[in-house]
Amino acid sequence: MNVALAKLLPVAVSIVIIIGVAVLREYSRTFAAIAATMPLNIPLGMWIIYAGADDKPQAMQEFTRAVLVNIVPTLIFMLIAYVLVRAGWGLVPTIIVSYIGWAVALGGVFLAQRLLGIA
């Protein structure tokens, strides 16, 4: 596959997916939530890593391990957002505080990896 096409195609797929989510939300909040939580960026990231790697199995192993570990801060983001929305917070403060929690959790992941010598 042409290198330029390998870089452009994931972007085009992302755009199509975003448009699809926007259309889906008009029909069902459930479908919109499912679409919002689908692993969309992970396969695109895998595709980009795979296309650019010399040692594909090693690159894929490192990438998928990193995704698995780094999904934890994202789950914490959603937990914080859920708690704040239930408490009646508005959209912007909820997003800001959730991102702060995500950043703290991400820092915790990096710190734990460093202390365990797996970074």
Q: DSSP secondary-structure letter at 61?
A: H
Confidence of residue 12 (pLDDT cuts 50, 70, 90): confident
Task: Tell whether the model's pLDDT for residue 104 goes beyond 80.
Answer: yes
Question: Do 37 and 92 lie in a common domain?
Answer: no
Q: Is the pLDDT of residue 35 over 60?
A: yes
Task: Classify residue 117 as left (phi > 0), alpha (psi -120 to 50) or beta.
Answer: left
Shared domain check, 16 and 1: yes
- How many domains is the chain partitioned into structurally? 2
45 and 61 housed in the same domain: no
Structure-derived torsion over alpha carbons of residues 58, 64, 69, 74, reported in degrees to the nearest 10: 150
Task: Return d(Cα 112, Cα 86) in angstroms, integer.
Answer: 31
The pLDDT assigned to 40 comes to 75
Residue 70 and residue 43 share a domain: no
65 and 19 housed in the same domain? no
Q: Is the pLDDT of residue 83 over 60?
A: yes
Rounded to whole angstroms, the maximal C-alpha distance in the chain is 51
Q: Give the domain extent around 82.
A: 57-119
Q: Check whether 76 has a pLDDT greater than 60.
A: yes
Distance, CA of 18 to CA of 21 (rounded, Å): 5
Q: What is the pLDDT of residues 38-65, one digit of tens each?
A: 787 788 888 888 888 899 999 999 999 9
pLDDT tier at 17, thresholds 50, 70, 90: confident
pLDDT of 77 over the 90 cut: yes
pTM: predicted TM-score of the whole model, two decimal places? 0.73
- What pLDDT is attached to residue 61? 95
113 and 61 together in one domain: yes
Q: Quick one: 63 and 8 in the same domain?
A: no
